[in-house]
Chain A
Amino acid sequence: MTMAKLTQVILGPVITERSSLLQERNKYTFEVRMDSNKGLIKQAIETLFEVKVVKINIVKNRGKARRFGSRLVHGSDKKKAIVTLNPGETISLFDGV
């Protein structure tokens, strides 16, 4: 896959209390495209951050349905990937800016 497409796979870091806790165990959480899969994410992370990925867990969040009058509106779905790295490796996207 080309470089340009790999950068599109990963939408951004997820920075929450839970993700911060996971980071301590060398697990980094990213928001990824809905149509991506573990293989693609692994490839993207490894090329973009030059690290070795050990394991990937994927979580799908379904967008919430809200009712506006008689219409039922669906929020957008999102996919999160929890990436476990080789011990000792880090991704710098998360600390400071």
Chain B
Amino acid sequence: MKVTKEENEQCEINLTIELDDDDLAIYIKRAYQKVVQNIKIPGFRKGKAPQNVVEREVGRSTLIRESLDFLIPEVTTKAIEDNNITPYARPEVSIDEVEPFIISAIVPLKPTVTLGDYHSIRLEEERKEITNTDIDEVIQGYQTDSAPWEPVSRSIQEGDLVVMDLKGIVETTSEDNPDSSIPFIDQNDYEVIVDKANLVIPEFADSIIGMNQGEDKEFTLTFSDEVPEPEFAGKPANFSVSVKEIKERILPEVNDEFAKGIGEGYESLADLREDIKKQRTEALEQESIRNYNEQMIDEILKTTTIITPPLLVEREINASIENMTSSVSRQLGREISLEEYLSVMNKSEDDLKEEIRPQSIERLEKSLLLDQLIEEEKIEITDNEIDEEINRLAGDSPQAEQIKELFSSEETKVSLTNSLQIQKLMELLTSIGKGNIKEENESN
């Protein structure tokens, strides 16, 4: 076995492995032992033909092909061991030549993460305060949710619900179909909320505002260029409307009664406001911690040089493509292939790969950075801490025992350790960013 080793600057080692006939003979023999069980050669019972007869029958190249399944992993593992390489991930192997037999393997090494002076990064935390207007907005939401629609006898105003018979015909002039009209809506008792922001054609609201019950009207409007159906974009449409009923939303008065009516056990309006404030503040705090952590990581990433083997990047990209298709499959409730997905998206595979490349690299680099930081800061999690976390997660729910059992497997413990490590790391980084770390830590 002849191995040539070549290390490139992107943390990868290229191994070229040449096998001579003696090396191959062992693998061919094993392939023969596998093949002979399934092959019928005249003059021999199944599984009894000698190797030279089988080799003549199926050909040497077939035997080599059969042997690849175990040949490639064994040979590359051996070559990697012989050269004292510590691979970071599964190597990528390709067959260059069969005669003589040469394979090449790309072995990704541990990415080098060179941390910058992240201890000197200072970052202000953006804190948002909850204001009275925020609370008012939430309360308005409650108000409109619970508001009943009441019929009124006046002309249409903005914000009304209008029940109408609606007909719409769009005039399309395409080349093969000049001057044709497509009726796209024809519905009786159609309900429209007169709200400019949410109508497909905002001018529709203007056209019907001021109409009275029982009134009929015809008018022409033009679709904007951004409508979802491309064949309608920019085309004029004739509408004929006959108003049947006009309803107005009666907003309930905001008072203690209203607060009680929400049914969450609020005693008074003040009570409700207090609770909304509490909830919103908590949510905001969580959000700002999350943002802060993200910004901190981004900042550290800027000072860090990471060399990632391209192979790992490719794999990350492929993995995220797989994720995308499988999540689409779940949404559709059926399996879809990558080809199908691409044709729907109207993209080539290469385009898609290039498109998600930057975010894949970023994701990969962030996770490498976190690993490196955990190592650098010697963040360790004791079994005690894991147990505590499990107890916390289990809480005092009735299924506490089952939850504990769920977390007791080695695998989940590892992932739990990891998430605890990241949690601890983030606390540390936060205190670095806010300048709360004392000199003693920096001198260590």
Q: Chain A residues in contact with chain B, CB under 8 A?
A: 14-17, 19-20, 94-97
Interface SS of chain B: helix, strand, loop or mixed?
loop
Please name the residue on chain B nearest to A97 by beta carbon. Answer: B56
Contacts of B43 in A (CB 8 A): 14-17, 19
Q: Chain B residues in contact with chain A, CB under 8 A?
A: 42-45, 48-50, 52-53, 55-56
Contacts of A14 in B (CB 8 A): 43
Contacts of B48 in A (CB 8 A): 17
The smallest C-beta distance from B143 to any residue of chain A, in angstroms, reads 91
Could you count the A-B residue pairs with CB atoms below 8 Å apart for me: how many are there? 21
A20 touches B56 (CB 8 A): no
A16 touches B44 (CB 8 A): yes
Question: Given A17-B49, A20-B50, is A96 in contact with B55 using a C-beta cutoff of 8 Å?
Answer: yes
Assembled-state Cα–Cα distance A94/B48 (Å): 17
Please name the residue on chain A nearest to B50 by beta carbon. Answer: A20
Interface SS of chain A: helix, strand, loop or mixed?
loop
Question: Given A15-B43, A16-B43, A17-B43, is A96 in contact with B56 using a C-beta cutoff of 8 Å?
Answer: yes
Contacts of A95 in B (CB 8 A): 52
The smallest C-beta distance from B307 to any residue of chain A, in angstroms, reads 50
Assembled-state Cα–Cα distance A73/B56 (Å): 34
The smallest C-beta distance from B167 to any residue of chain A, in angstroms, reads 84
The smallest C-beta distance from B35 to any residue of chain A, in angstroms, reads 16
Contacts of B55 in A (CB 8 A): 96
Please name the residue on chain A nearest to B48 by beta carbon. Answer: A17
The smallest C-beta distance from B28 to any residue of chain A, in angstroms, reads 12
The smallest C-beta distance from A89 to any residue of chain B, in angstroms, reads 18
A17 touches B44 (CB 8 A): yes
Please name the residue on chain B nearest to A16 by beta carbon. Answer: B43
Assembled-state Cα–Cα distance A17/B50 (Å): 8
A17 touches B56 (CB 8 A): no
